[in-house]
Amino acid sequence: MKTLSLSKTIAVSLGALIVLLAVVFTLKAETPILNLKGGSKLVYSMQSASVTSDATVILNTLAPTVSFKWKTSETVYGKVIFSNESFNSGRMISSKLIEDQKGDYGFFWISKVMFTELSAGKTSFNLNGNEKTEGVVKAGVEQMEVRVNGAMKSIDVIHAKTVTPGGGVDFYVLNDVNNPLIIKMTTTAGGFSLTEITE
């Protein structure tokens, strides 16, 4: 009798543990790394050879495409809207804020197809028209610290490095296919890094 009772107890305990783990993993899978939404504010430090300034990004939408407003101390708000094509499979990344009426450039976000290629370890090429200007490849998954809602948070990022001889691009993108946000980018001329997020 005692053996049967012990078996039942173990079976019930294991069943409860399996249910608990299933709930935890389901919640983890559905919880985004960063909970960005309309009104979320991101502050980037922009660096060039001689100047450092801040750029504030106010997110409007993240899905089905990215749109946001931005300002620096020298520039009034501009509005950027990625076309669906650019957000899904675009090949143009800008390391500085410029006017982009067509929504072709990936400002602060890379496209989902580039993210998928980097995740799989494939070389992902930036394009200028049909010309491959440089390629980047995954250099590993790392953790970075970012201030989120006033507290430091550790986030997983994909580290991507240039693989072409004349390159010099090094960037870190949030390890989230639905929000492939560039956390930090460095180039031979400067770059930018995310310093603070208000979700």
Distance CA 57, CA 102 (A): 19
Give residue-wise pLDDT tens across range 91-148: 888 777 777 777 777 788 999 999 999 999 999 987 777 788 778 899 999 999 999 9
Give residue-wise pLDDT tens across range 29-44: 445 689 999 999 999 9
The SS3 call for residue 29 is helix
Tokens of 129: 């028209």
Any idea where the domains of the chain sit in the sequence? Answer: 1-31, 41-198
SS3 string, 49-82, reads CCCEEEEEEEEEECCCCCEEEEEECCCCCEEEEC
